[in-house]
Structure 1
Amino acid sequence: MARPKTPLLTREGIRDAALGLVDRDGLEGLSMRKLAQELDVQAASLYSHYRTKDDLLADIANGIMAGVDVSGFDSGDWRHGLTVWARTYRRALAAHPNLVPVIAVGPGRREEALRRADAIHGGLVAAGWPPRHATMIGASTKYLVVGGAINSFARGFDDDVQVYRDRYPNLFQAHKLAEHAVEIDEDSFELALEAFLAGLEGIFEKVRTRTGGNPDEGGGEGVRH
């Protein structure tokens, strides 16, 4: 039998094409029918690799989460671990903003997300945080990152100076924000992260004093994020 002239359909190829569709058209622009058209195959061919669109999206989310770095916790320095995790997490989300609603919903059963959640929780506890605090820190970091990735503060302003000059005197330069959106959004995230870590420093000292350096005395096992 002659070899097919076109490459066989693979899960990787399906994922890449689906991610391209979502990046271009948003989540609502992805359907198995449209994806099949994009790949020039029959929709039935896709279902032999993925049972549902949700299964496909979960696999794509798994791949994106694989680029999030939690190795900073290996050093035992929770500040370094959180910094590396938060920056790479935001970068991964910002690269595919249309997928944020899928990724941000939580790890569920996604292997890569669960592996990272386990590393983060374990790293925080090993560094001296009680389990309950470790859970809350993981959640708080996620809120910070997702908020920074899902929306742009600077791009929310019009570039027409007339909009602000007469009625909003304190916003007389707001029309320039969109032009510098990338820089403003990056620097604003770094400021928020710095303030967050500084606040945690004070809490950490209080927790260590109260528990005598024993994280198990910190109030329960917590829930892994």
Structure 2
Amino acid sequence: MQKKTENGQRGLGRPKTALITRESIVDAALVIVDRDGPEGLNLRKIATALDVTAASLYHHFANKEEILAELTMHLLRKQRIPKQQDSWQNTFVNGTHQYRRTLIEHPRAAPILAARLWQSYSYAKFEHSLSSMAAGGVPENLQLAIMRAGEMLGLASALIGPDWDNSKYGDVPEQYPTLRRAIEADTWTAEESLDITVRALIRGFEALAEEATVSGKPTGETDAH
């Protein structure tokens, strides 16, 4: 519909604010990923959700990959970087839990995160974690291995689900008494189970770091036989 412009002439007029923004595009993309998975995301669906043409998306992003990169950053921003430096152990535990919560909230985004987690927009987060490890005496050749281990644990825990119970074992016959007792004694929540697993992993890495310090050899090096 035509309307008068400020000089009194009739014209199509332009909205005072943009119809779409980078943020609104990413929000729409995330809704689609949550519903249809990464394979169901395309520019046409995003445009339809925003009631615009697909061509208008190119004013904000060059292609779909740029949208996925921005979506990854959006999800990573939910993982807060503490303002004050903590021990590398606490940083590792907290980071693993935050990663798990993000994946539980957006489980279908897991392939997107896993494929792009180690790209440039993650540098600040990794620098914070690695700095705490360096300050704690973790050998450099163990630092990224620890980061990857946290990513794997967070992903695996998220795939299991936000919570679970041992009913999945069914009605275990009495001929398996050890299993029956273990099920009865197992009262960990999903978060508690991840927590003890992460802390057990930390102790293993601490032992490896200590071995390297005592032997004076790079971590992982063994004597030739």
Aligned-pair distance for 1:167?
Answer: 8.2
Q: Which residue of 1 aligns with 2:208?
A: 203
1:14 aligns with 2:25: yes
1:188 aligns with 2:193: yes
1:32 counterpart (38, 43, 47): 43
Q: 1:74 to 1:3 in 2, by over 3 A?
A: same
Q: Which residue of 1 aligns with 2:62?
A: 51
**CA separation in 2, counterparts of 1:120 and 1:44?**
40
1:88 aligns with 2:98: yes
Computed over aligned residues only, the root mean square deviation of the Cα atoms, in angstroms, reads 3.3
**CA separation in 1, counterparts of 2:137 and 2:147?**
14
**Conservation of the 8 A alpha-carbon contact between 1:72 and 1:84:** no
Q: 1:47 to 1:107 in 2, by over 3 A?
A: same
Q: 1:44 to 1:169 in 2, by over 3 A?
A: farther
Q: Deviations over 1:15-51 (max 9, x none)?
A: 1111111112211221111111111101101122112
Q: Which residue of 2 aligns with 1:137?
A: 146
Identity rate of aligned residues, in percent? 29
Q: Which residue of 2 aligns with 1:179?
A: none
> 2:214 is aligned with what amino acid?
T
**Conservation of the 8 A alpha-carbon contact between 1:100 and 1:150:** no
**Conservation of the 8 A alpha-carbon contact between 2:211 and 2:219:** no
Number of residue pairs matched? 201
Q: 1:166 to 1:132 in 2, by over 3 A?
A: closer
Aligned-pair distance for 1:72?
Answer: 7.8
1:78 aligns with 2:83: no
1:152 aligns with 2:155: no
Q: For residue 39 of structure 2, give the secondary structure of its aligned residue in structure 1.
A: helix
Q: Deviations over 1:106-159 (max 9, x none)?
A: 435341x12212222232122211110112111111111121123439669987
> 1:122 is aligned with what amino acid?
S
Q: Which residue of 2 aligns with 1:175?
A: none
Q: Deviations over 1:170-216 (max 9, x none)?
A: 688xxxxxxxxxx74323212211221232333333233334xxxxx
Q: For residue 71 of structure 1, give the secondary structure of its aligned residue in structure 2.
A: coil
Q: For residue 85 of structure 2, give the secondary structure of its aligned residue in structure 1.
A: helix
**CA separation in 2, counterparts of 1:166 and 1:185?**
22
**Conservation of the 8 A alpha-carbon contact between 2:72 and 2:116:** no
Q: 1:168 to 1:187 in 2, by over 3 A?
A: farther
Structure 1 residue runs without a partner (length 5+): 173-182, 212-216, 221-225
More helix by share: 1
**CA separation in 2, counterparts of 1:116 and 1:36?**
32
**CA separation in 1, counterparts of 2:118 and 2:199?**
29
Q: Which residue of 2 aligns with 1:223?
A: none
Q: Which residue of 2 aligns with 1:118?
A: 127
Aligned-pair distance for 1:164?
Answer: 4.1
**Conservation of the 8 A alpha-carbon contact between 1:73 and 1:123:** no
**Structure with max Cα Rg:** 2
Q: Which residue of 2 aligns with 1:214?
A: none
**Conservation of the 8 A alpha-carbon contact between 1:68 and 1:85:** yes
Q: 1:208 to 1:164 in 2, by over 3 A?
A: same
